[in-house]
């Protein structure tokens, strides 16, 4: 299954809701959406790029005057709208749109966020107001390193760690951003049960086409046996954060 079809299938089945996943990380340094919200003014307008099922941005929606979430996946936006219908928010909307060409006027938003989603730096600059802030958290190439080693394939497998971070930093600088802060963490992550690891593999692209290649479940069992600890099944969660001010 290619990436686009996989993302649509996950959007229809689950959105981007990982609340059922029983895991914990030791060494994580921030909560992305709380970071976006903590310095917000009540008059700020927020655009969330790659919003998925809207679960996370809805948690901070009360901190903003308006919230717009976009995603390229029709299924994800349908899930986001269903999640919105469970709330009392009238200042939130979700739209099917690509981050490559944002369907908004120049200087439309005070804050932009993009969590684990691609973005176009020039478009970020265009729709962000002067004095506004862009926040992005991305998955580093070395994320889930032992898991990808066990399968011999995976998201960004074999790529240089830091390549995506450097590319986004260059793109943002070229777009006009001169004030940027970059942070990273590499946390030890423990998944409590086999079911949690299986859920992760089936609902993320960490191991592409998991379960479709011969031997995948044997490799999974071997990985669990080799990485089982008293705290759970051990792997790592590596992220980087860029905060860019216009």
pLDDT tens, the chain, 246 aa long: 433 443 343 334 444 455 678 889 998 789 999 999 998 999 999 999 999 999 999 999 999 999 999 999 999 999 999 999 999 999 999 999 999 999 999 999 999 999 999 999 999 999 999 999 999 999 999 999 999 999 999 999 999 999 999 999 999 999 999 999 999 999 999 999 998 998 889 888 899 988 889 999 999 999 999 999 999 999 999 999 999 999
- pTM for the full predicted model: 0.89
For residue 17, the model assigns a pLDDT of: 56
Structure tokens at 144: 């889930």
- Count of Cβ atoms closer than 10 Å to residue 13 Cβ: 12
- Count of Cβ atoms closer than 10 Å to residue 27 Cβ: 12
Name the residue among 29, 28, 81, 23 with its Cα closest to residue 57. 81
Whether the CB-CB separation of 79 and 54 falls below 8 Å is answered with: yes
Angstrom distance (rounded) from CA 92 to CA 171: 29
Q: Residue 19 contacts by C-beta under 8 Å, 6 or more apart in sequence?
A: 55
For residue 192, the model assigns a pLDDT of: 94
Could you tell me which residues are beta bridge partners of residue 69? 48, 94
- Count of Cβ atoms closer than 10 Å to residue 155 Cβ: 17
- Count of Cβ atoms closer than 10 Å to residue 153 Cβ: 15
Whether the CB-CB separation of 47 and 109 falls below 8 Å is answered with: yes
Structure tokens at 246: 């216009």
Cα–Cα separations (whole angstroms), residue 18 to 81, 110, 130: 17, 28, 35
Whether the CB-CB separation of 121 and 171 falls below 8 Å is answered with: yes
């Amino acid at each position: 299954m290619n990436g686009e079809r996989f993302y649509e299938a996950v959007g229809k089945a689950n959105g981007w809701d990982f609340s059922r996943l029983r895991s914990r990380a030791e060494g994580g340094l921030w909560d992305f959406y709380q970071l976006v919200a903590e310095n917000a003014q009540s008059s700020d307008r927020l655009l969330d790029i790659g919003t998925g099922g809207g679960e996370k941005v809805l948690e901070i929606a009360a901190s903003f005057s308006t919230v717009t979430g976009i995603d390229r996946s029709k299924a994800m936006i349908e899930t986001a709208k269903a999640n919105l219908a469970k709330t009392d928010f009238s200042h939130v909307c979700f739209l099917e749109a690509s981050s490559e060409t944002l369907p908004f006027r120049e200087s439309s938003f005070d804050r932009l966020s993009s969590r684990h989603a691609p973005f176009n730096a020039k478009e970020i600059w265009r729709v962000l107001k002067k004095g506004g802030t862009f926040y992005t958290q991305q998955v580093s190439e070395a994320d889930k390193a032992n898991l990808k080693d066990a399968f011999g394939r995976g998201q960004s497998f074999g790529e240089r760690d830091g390549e995506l971070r450097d590319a986004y930093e260059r793109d943002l600088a070229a777009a006009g951003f001169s004030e940027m802060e970059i942070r990273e963490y590499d946390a030890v992550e423990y998944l409590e049960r086999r079911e949690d690891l299986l859920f992760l593999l089936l609902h993320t692209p960490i191991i592409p086409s998991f379960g479709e290649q011969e031997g995948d479940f044997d490799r999974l069992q071997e990985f669990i046996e080799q990485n089982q600890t008293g705290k759970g099944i051990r792997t790592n969660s590596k992220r980087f954060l860029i905060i860019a001010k216009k």
